[in-house]
Amino acid sequence: MSSFDAIESKMEAVGLSRAAIDAFRHCVEVLESKQSMMIPEDEISPADNIADWDTLVSESPAADAELLSQAVLIKLNGGLGTSMGLQKAKSLLEIKPGLTFLDLIVRQVISLGEKAGAPVRLLLMNSFSTSADTMAHLSRYAAEGFADASQVEMLQNRVPKLCVDTLAPVSFPSNPDLEWCPPGHGDIYPALLGSGWLDKLLAAGVKYAFVSNSDNLGAQMDTRFLSWFAKSGAPFVMEVTRRTEADKKGGHLAVRKSDSQPILREVAQCPDADVPEFQNIEKHRYFNTNNLWIRLDALRDFQQANGGVIPLPVIRNTKTADPRDASTPPVYQLETAMGAAIQSFPGACAVCVPRSRFFPVKTCSDLLLLRSDAIEIGADGLMSLAPECGGITPVVLLDSKTYKLVDSLDSLGIPSLKNVSKLVVKGPHNFAPGEPLSGEVMIG
């Protein structure tokens, strides 16, 4: 494909792997083909008959040391959290005094290994932006074996931004970094292959990977579910949970009518006319938590059979070369979602998990709740609701303009939320530390 030559040369020049280049070639071919990237409502059915996590877990024994030695916990750790005003790895955000996401991930891994009587493998998928900060922080865990990048780090790839008119890689000499963009978390598949980690893990006898976002503290490798997954024979399992009004813009699970294969549909893949149905949480009841279980040998076999590529749906975003300057050239940023691989594996399925396995921090509202007394974090790094919450997570809605950046929480203060069902704060306010609140509270 001669039109890809310039793109390929640009990617080779910065040392990107053949797997990364071939994966991006697939994305560009989809774009050039002008085939629809949309998933219309009339081509899908709502997902139904989803297995229940609690049932599967209750019926499975905990994984033994031998099985745990065949598993790896992979955390996506490439985000900077710039939307919250951070200029470092988001996983280094402090949640409780002296404790970051990364500290709690390490605590969870160490505790899990101690309970199982076998070390648990941790692999962080860092980006070029988060690698240095992350590894510097992990130096404090050298004695536990987490400070060696060759043992715990896999670097995310990057891909060129493409000129809208020509699909050539954009040139931006004043700031060459702006010529590149992240490829989306679907990059995990070419990253595993191109980095050599897939072969390395399989050679070490590792068959099962549990993948989740580093900002989701609810996602820990459950040894009972690992036991079920190993026995199930499923090549790929997606953890989904019931959608609420707060989730109606997130990607949902569906079934493709043409072959009854489960698929993931993101809002960017939904035609405008179908958006109301996309957001119908009673019809499309399950959304992707981005917690995935993957058979690594099945992944290797599929990639080998498809030229090293998982042919994921492509999401096209139209932006400007400098996202802060509307006068710069318009570009396409192509990305893929790792959960979309559910459509590629025959036998792939979804399991409905408790909401407690999905607790990401995307906004200051999420962070305030996590920092409050409504959330307890044990010595093992596990998160739980305070008993006073009665099993129901308080809803926190802070004014998105006033409390957009992490630093804004310093002036707000942290009240007691363990007896709160809902807290809404409109405009500036200041709580006394631990100020007791209860029921539904509206400020401003």
Report, as residue numbers or ranges, the catalytic residues: 362
Euclidean distance between CA atoms 359 and 385, whole angstroms: 11
Euclidean distance between CA atoms 188 and 127, whole angstroms: 11
End-to-end CA distance of the chain: 59
H-only helix segments in 117-247: 131-138, 149-152, 188-194, 197-203, 223-232
**Residues 6 or more apart in contact with residue 38 via CB below 8 angstroms:** 269, 270, 271
Euclidean distance between CA atoms 164 and 329, whole angstroms: 8
**Among 179, 185, 192, residue whose Cα is nearest residue 315:** 185
Please state the separation of Cα 234 from the chain's center in Å. Answer: 21
DSSP annotation of 394 reads P
For 182-198, b where at least 16 C-beta lie within 10 A, e where not — what string?
A: bbbbbbbbbbbbbbebb
φ/ψ (deg, to 5) at 22:
-65, -35
Q: Which pairing describes strands 236-242 and 349-352: parallel, antiparallel, or unpaired?
A: parallel
Element (H, E) at 12: helix 5-13
**Among 174, 211, 206, residue whose Cα is nearest residue 189:** 211
Asked if 163 contacts 331 with a C-beta cutoff of 8 angstroms, the reply is yes
Q: Token match 């009673």: residue?
A: 282
Euclidean distance between CA atoms 178 and 158, whole angstroms: 11
User: For 117, left (φ over 0), alpha (ψ -120 to 50), or beta?
Assistant: left
Structure tokens at 424: 């809404």
Q: Which pairing describes strands 208-213 and 262-265: parallel, antiparallel, or unpaired?
A: unpaired
Euclidean distance between CA atoms 116 and 99, whole angstroms: 24
Euclidean distance between CA atoms 36 and 24, whole angstroms: 18
**Among 245, 243, 246, residue whose Cα is nearest residue 265:** 243
